[in-house]
């Protein structure tokens, strides 16, 4: 066994990436305060060919040095839009036919392993302290949580994003 070289990874160029088919997923970041978390979402969205990221509220926008530290250029490949409030983002998504799902522990949340990905899905991720806003929860079609068995029952929001995007990516790839 040996580590692959950069050439052996068969990475797409930025132009090639812009032309390939993307997953029918939009990530909505609702008041994410950490610039490193925002950058991580961009980098993970690039890895799994997510269509777009919607940045809402206090969520910072590229270009920003601290976002770039973790995004490593993914802000140049993943499309994004900014909305002053999450309600406007959700209204647009609904008008475009997206199923809107918050990633939050609620009284009606499904465990992630029971979620079967649908076409045109938007996943809402909330603030690191407060979680997904009540406004967002009320406007969602469903809620998903990542089952946990430790003492915290809390994961970093960017880690949650990676788990959810991987789940969608792997399930979607098996249906192609």
SS (HEC) of the chain:
CCCCCCHHHCCCCHHHHHHCCCEEEEEEEECCCCHHHHHHHHHHHHHCCEEEEEEECCCCCCCCHHHHHHHCCHHHCCEEEEECCHHHHHHHHHHCCCEEEEECCCCCCEEHHHCCCCCCEEEEEEECCCECCHHHHHHCCEEEECCCCCCCCCCCHHHHHHHHHHHHHHHHHHHC
CATH code that applies to domain 21-175: 3.40.1280.10
- Segments in the chain below pLDDT 50: none
Which token pair is 23? 């997953």
pLDDT for the residue numbered 174: 63
Predicted pLDDT at 118: 80
pLDDT 10s digits, 9-33: 989 999 999 999 999 999 999 999 9
pLDDT of residue 117: 84
Per-domain residue ranges of the chain: 21-175
Residue 119: per-residue pLDDT: 87
User: Phi and psi dihedrals of 167, rounded to 5?
Assistant: -60, -50
Structure tokens that stand for 117 in this block: 């990905």
CA distances to 25, 27, 50, 66 from 79, in Å: 12, 11, 9, 18
Q: Which of 124, 117, 71, 83 is nearest to 102 (CA)?
A: 124
């Amino acid at each position: 066994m040996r580590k692959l070289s950069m050439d052996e990874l068969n990475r797409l160029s930025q132009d090639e990436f812009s032309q390939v088919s993307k997953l029918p997923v939009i990530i909505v970041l609702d008041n994410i305060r950490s610039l490193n978390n925002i950058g991580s979402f961009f980098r993970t969205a690039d890895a799994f060919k997510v269509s777009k990221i919607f940045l809402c509220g206090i969520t910072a926008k590229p270009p920003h040095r601290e976002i770039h530290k973790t995004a490593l250029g993914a802000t140049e490949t993943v499309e994004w839009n900014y909305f002053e409030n999450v309600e406007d983002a959700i209204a647009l998504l609904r008008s475009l036919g997206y199923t809107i799902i918050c990633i939050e522990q609620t009284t009606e949340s499904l465990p992630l392993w029971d979620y079967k990905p649908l076409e045109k899905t938007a996943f809402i991720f909330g603030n690191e302290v407060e979680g997904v806003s009540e406004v967002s929860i009320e406007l969602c079609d469903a809620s998903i949580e990542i089952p946990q068995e430790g003492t915290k029952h809390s994961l970093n929001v960017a880690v949650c994003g990676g788990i959810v995007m991987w789940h969608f990516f792997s399930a979607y790839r098996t249906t192609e």
